[in-house]
Amino acid sequence: PQAIYLHDYQPPAYRLERTELTFDLNEKATRVRARLHLQRHPEAEAQAPLVLWGCELGLERIAIDGQPLLESEYRIEGETLTVERVPERFLLDTEVVIEPAANTALEGLYVSGPIFCTQCEPEGFRRITWYPDRPDVLAPFTTTVIGDRDREPVLLSNGNPVERGELPGNRHFVSWQDPHPKPAYLFALVAGKLDCVRDSFTTASGREVALELWVEEENLHKTEWAMASLKRAMRWDEQSYGREYDLDLFMIVAVNDFNMGAMENKGLNIFNSAAVLANPQTTTDAAFQRIEGIVAHEYFHNWSGNRVTCRDWFQLALKEGFTVFRDQTFSADTNSAPVKRIEDVALLRTLQFAEDAGPTAHPVRPDHFIEISNFYTLTIYEKGAEIVRMLRNLIGAETFRRGSDRYFERFDGQAVRVEDFVDVMAEVSGLDLGLFMRWYSQAGTPQLDCRGEYDEAGQRFTLTVRQHTPPTPGQPDKLPLHIPLRMGLLGDDGTPLTLSVDGETPGTDTVLHLTEAEQQWTFEGIERAPVPSLLRGFSAPVRLDYPWSRDELAHLMRFDEDGFNRWDATQRLALTAIEEMMTAHAAGETMHLDARLIDAFRYLLNQPADDRAVLAEMLRLPSEAWIAEQQSQVDVDAIHAARRAAIEQLADSLYADFERVYHANQSTAGYAPTPEQIAARSLKNIALSYLTASGEPETLAMAKAQFEADDNMTDVRAALTLLAHSDRADLGDPAIRAFGERWSHDALVMDQWFATQVTRPQPDALERVRFLMQHPAFSIKNPNRVRALIGTFTRDNRVNFHRRDGAGYRLLADVVIELNRLNPEIAARMIAPLTRFRRFDEARAALMRGELERIRAEKLSRNLHEVVEKALA
């Protein structure tokens, strides 16, 4: 397969005035007629050929202005169809036959159980019909869907329904008109037996919008939360960005088979059922919050993505980074803002940093790709969002809002580039963002090495900061970036010190602008040695090193004005203690937990609980993934053993405190996913997890009681996990059995059942995975099942996935080889843990490499080919 390069971009030679589609649905043979009203671009050459894209289409007819084309008049090569000579303005009329039931890749038109649905981003539309399938060709669409009256009573597409009627042979049709010009990737069609929950929303300017949530009948009791989330998101976008919805109808549909979370098709968002259906009995707090965020994300795309779209797929972060930033801000405004920031940073620092340090590292705006589906990554989404966040912090929230208003107004209806977004921000702020643009082109995570020097005689504190970005594949040499470093200084009594930098108004918090490889700042009038608080709010996506002592970290944990840095100081303190235990483990010595961490936790547990949500996060030790990120060669066993020992020693030392917190946070009210209740449950369940780590038998009885009380899924799942992960099979097995029997009818709950079992730290976990792959509730064709069983195992059960005998690697390779045939997009995602083999010891690396080579010997899809070749390069 050939790579596609950003620098080869050519504007389209033909524009679409109008697209008219007719679908005659049939699982085995759907007939698609496309009438494309095309016109040569005024700047294109008169001889410019017409190029369309298509994939696995049975072409039955092709005509221009009513004249069928002879086979000699067009040419099909790979995925393109070229007509050399076409008029300046013409109607291209094609008819193709496709087979939705055989489509296991879940791109284009496919069936999910009894439901027909589509996924067209990024290049799925070419599996539906021959089309200029590129995001810079926009058209208003008219779509007629014909289906069986009994099997497909509901026929949906983008826009507004304009006509419906009966046809012979028990068939019927609905025609839809979408007046907003859109690229093909935003096209959607859904048909089947679906029920609807209706609501409405009055926009700020007083327009009434009908809201429809379409689900299969058995899911009607799980729709309330998504509908409420949608309305909150609609209001928030009006208030925060001045963006109103622009059609009279907004629809969401839930389907069971979907490659990602959801899709922002114009007026008809299609959701993975896991990303929309919620109910207290079946859904955890974390999933409620995730659903709220995804509903908002897809809705926000209506402006950041649909009204203003991307010129080409290299610009993907333009819509995804901005929309993730928008959904993060929405969730922060709706829930606990500091916890949202902590969660987002934890995700970025573990998984995105790992991606940025591995063989598939790429810039936020890549300059080439083989398969664009491989670029829906944490780098594009999460690092892309961090760049937007830095921009807003650099120019200020109000100026940023003026910039976003101008961006939406100026580029409405257009397909644009990252530069267009950044230029508008530079224009409204007057700031030179030239250097800042490097964030989009340079891959890798910058490292900041900071050092402080206190001059007692001169009463000044000097901070020296060096930045460097390690090489990434294809980018050996890196240049300095424009990095905003928010910071403050704390006095020895915890008071924030007043700083004045470069003539700014003095305050206790400032933003340093790093633009060079090394810079120095001196703060005058500092009477005693301060403790610096650096990278407040995680002001830039970087790794930061400063030689804080443990006492200084404990000081920051107590006194920092910045909530994020209080959490981060606790994480750093815990990390130092765990690393010390890992050294002891490697030397075969007893692992002792540093008493200063125990004291810090005691302090936290005995503080008045003014923010329980943040407290729960502070009590969570750094994840195994984050500990691994600190190591030059990852020692999975030492990490697991040390972290576990730290938990047990905290549990033993602070048993009474955890017990008190557990009891103090029992809920009395009925379940609601409110920030207050979520915080209390989170704190209660982390306390319970420490209690069970103490090994005291009554603590598992507490977990069993919580499990049996069956109050809500958050508490049930937390208790089930503790029971299932304990060594007490007499308690764990019955709980697993009871849960599995109770929920065998609900696939989304069974996914949680799978995930709970395959994260068991005991050595039987891998055999359980193989066993569960034979369970009737599992299907390798369903991405949710694969993610729950295989994805959770390879990501969250590091000791067992990295078993020394290589059985974990073999299992993953077997699954990837099967997925390569069925669903290349999912195969390419699942393989990621194997591609990081260079991070491990020689023996493990050789086993992982061996499995990659076994995969490479297969006939690979473009998706997997690209990832495997990068990994083995």
Amino acid at 37: H
Contact window for ligand HT7 (CB under 6 A) among 117-125, 282-290, 392-400, 853-861:
117-125
Amino acid at 139: A
Which residues lie closer than 8 Å to 490 by C-beta, 6 or more apart? 496, 497, 530, 531, 532, 533, 555, 556, 559, 560
DSSP conformation letters of 472-539 = BTTB-S-----EEEEEEEE-TTSPBPPB--TTPPPBS-EEEEE-SSEEEEEEE---S--EEEESGGG-
Q: Are strands 415-416 and 309-310 parallel, antiparallel or unpaired?
A: parallel
Contact window for Zn ion (CB under 5 A) among 218-226, 319-327, 355-363, 587-595:
319-327
Instruction: Write a three-state SS string for 36-75.
Output: EEEEECCCCCCCCCEEEECCCCEEEEEEECCEECCHHHCE
Shortest Cβ 707–ligand HT7 spacing (Å): 35
The binder of 121, among Zn ion, ligand HT7, none, by C-beta within 5 to 8 A per type, is ligand HT7
Tokens for 655, please give them.
């048993």
Q: Are strands 208-215 and 171-182 parallel, antiparallel or unpaired?
A: unpaired
d(CA 506, CA 498): 6
* SS3 at position 253: strand
The binder of 665, among ligand HT7, Zn ion, none, by C-beta within 5 to 8 A per type, is none
Among residues 155 and 188, whose Cβ is nearest to Zn ion? 188
d(CA 169, CA 148): 8
Q: Which spans in 178-315 are helix H? A: 224-241, 285-300
d(CA 816, CA 766): 16
Does position 320 bind ligand HT7 by CB under 6 A? yes
Shortest Cβ 119–Zn ion spacing (Å): 13
CA atoms within 13 A on the CB side of 336: 27
Does position 279 bind ligand HT7 by CB under 6 A? no
Q: Compute how many other C-beta atoms are within 10 angstroms of the C-beta atom of residue 491.
A: 16
d(CA 606, CA 657): 8
Does position 861 bind ligand HT7 by CB under 6 A? no
Residue the block writes with tokens 């991405």? 783
The binder of 260, among Zn ion, ligand HT7, none, by C-beta within 5 to 8 A per type, is ligand HT7
Shortest Cβ 685–ligand HT7 spacing (Å): 30
Amino acid at 758: V
Which of 112, 143, 279, 373 touches ligand HT7 by CB under 6 A? 373
Question: Total residues contacting Zn ion (rule CB under 5 A)?
Answer: 2
Shortest Cβ 293–ligand HT7 spacing (Å): 11
Contact window for ligand HT7 (CB under 6 A) among 69-77, 115-123, 385-393, 559-567:
115-123
The binder of 119, among ligand HT7, Zn ion, none, by C-beta within 5 to 8 A per type, is ligand HT7
Instruction: Write a three-state SS string for 170-206.
Output: CEEEEEEEEEEEECHHHCCEEEECCEEEEEEEECCCC
Does position 264 bind ligand HT7 by CB under 6 A? yes
| Cα dihedral value 664, 665, 666, 669, nearest 10 | 120
> Is residue 471 a contact partner of residue 442, using CB atoms and an 8 Å limit?
no
Shortest Cβ 344–ligand HT7 spacing (Å): 15
Among residues 117 and 641, whose Cβ is nearest to ligand HT7? 117
* SS3 at position 667: coil
The binder of 126, among Zn ion, ligand HT7, none, by C-beta within 5 to 8 A per type, is none
Does position 326 bind ligand HT7 by CB under 6 A? no
Shortest Cβ 259–ligand HT7 spacing (Å): 4
Shortest Cβ 301–ligand HT7 spacing (Å): 6
d(CA 687, CA 86): 71
Q: Which residues within the stretch 494-523 sit at the binding site for ligand HT7 (CB under 6 A)? A: none
Q: What is the DSSP letter of 621?
A: P
Shortest Cβ 2–ligand HT7 spacing (Å): 20
> Is residue 89 a contact partner of residue 75, using CB atoms and an 8 Å limit?
no
> Is residue 292 a contact partner of residue 336, using CB atoms and an 8 Å limit?
no
Q: Compute how many other C-beta atoms are within 10 angstroms of the C-beta atom of residue 266.
A: 26
Q: By rule CB under 6 A, what string of x and - marks binding of each residue 299-318 to ligand HT7? A: --x-----------------
How far out from the chain centre does Cα 232 lie? Answer: 21
Does position 298 bind ligand HT7 by CB under 6 A? yes
Among residues 297 and 392, whose Cβ is nearest to ligand HT7? 297
Q: Which residues within the stretch 793-812 sit at the binding site for ligand HT7 (CB under 6 A)? A: none
Give which of 720, 718, 722 is closest to 735, Cα–Cα: 720
Which of 259, 469, 570, 726 touches ligand HT7 by CB under 6 A? 259
Contact window for ligand HT7 (CB under 6 A) among 219-227, 294-302, 337-345, 694-702:
294-302
Among residues 320 and 635, whose Cβ is nearest to ligand HT7? 320
Shortest Cβ 118–ligand HT7 spacing (Å): 10
Question: Does 17 participate in catalysis according to the annotation?
Answer: no
Does position 370 bind ligand HT7 by CB under 6 A? no
Does position 356 bind ligand HT7 by CB under 6 A? no
How far out from the chain centre does Cα 484 lie? Answer: 24
Instruction: List phi, psi (to 5°) of 71.
Output: -60, -25
Q: Which residue has the CB atom at the shortest distance from ligand HT7?
A: 260
Instruction: List phi, psi (to 5°) of 19.
Output: -125, 130
Contact window for Zn ion (CB under 5 A) among 102-110, 315-323, 352-360, 560-568:
315-323
Residue the block writes with tokens 């395959």? 758
Shortest Cβ 831–ligand HT7 spacing (Å): 16
Among residues 379 and 539, whose Cβ is nearest to ligand HT7? 379
Does position 382 bind ligand HT7 by CB under 6 A? no
Contact window for ligand HT7 (CB under 6 A) among 151-159, 293-301, 338-346, 833-841:
293-301
d(CA 529, CA 460): 9
Which of 297, 717, 787, 798 touches ligand HT7 by CB under 6 A? 297
Among residues 330 and 840, whose Cβ is nearest to ligand HT7? 330
Does position 655 bind ligand HT7 by CB under 6 A? no
Give which of 681, 652, 653, 654 is closest to 666, Cα–Cα: 681
- From 121, 298, 382, 659, active-site residue: 298
Question: Total residues contacting ligand HT7 (rule CB under 6 A)?
Answer: 15
Which of 19, 119, 329, 379 touches ligand HT7 by CB under 6 A? 119
The binder of 263, among ligand HT7, Zn ion, none, by C-beta within 5 to 8 A per type, is ligand HT7
> Is residue 125 a contact partner of residue 186, using CB atoms and an 8 Å limit?
no
Q: What is the DSSP letter of 610?
A: S
Q: Are strands 139-148 and 14-24 parallel, antiparallel or unpaired?
A: parallel
Shortest Cβ 319–ligand HT7 spacing (Å): 7
Q: What totals of helices (H) and strands (E) does the chain contain, helices first?
A: 31, 31
Among residues 382 and 624, whose Cβ is nearest to Zn ion? 382
Q: By rule CB under 6 A, what string of x and - marks binding of each residue 715-754 to ligand HT7? A: ----------------------------------------
Q: Are strands 447-455 and 543-545 parallel, antiparallel or unpaired?
A: parallel
Q: Which residues within the stretch 820-859 sit at the binding site for ligand HT7 (CB under 6 A)? A: 825
Contact window for ligand HT7 (CB under 6 A) among 261-269, 532-540, 571-579, 592-600:
261-269
Does position 121 bind ligand HT7 by CB under 6 A? yes
Does position 376 bind ligand HT7 by CB under 6 A? yes
Give which of 140, 474, 121 is closest to 320, Cα–Cα: 121
The binder of 594, among Zn ion, ligand HT7, none, by C-beta within 5 to 8 A per type, is none
Point out which residues bind ligand HT7 (CB under 6 A): 119, 121-122, 259-260, 262-264, 297-298, 301, 320, 373, 376, 825
Point out which residues bind Zn ion (CB under 5 A): 320, 323
Q: Which residues are catalytic?
A: 298
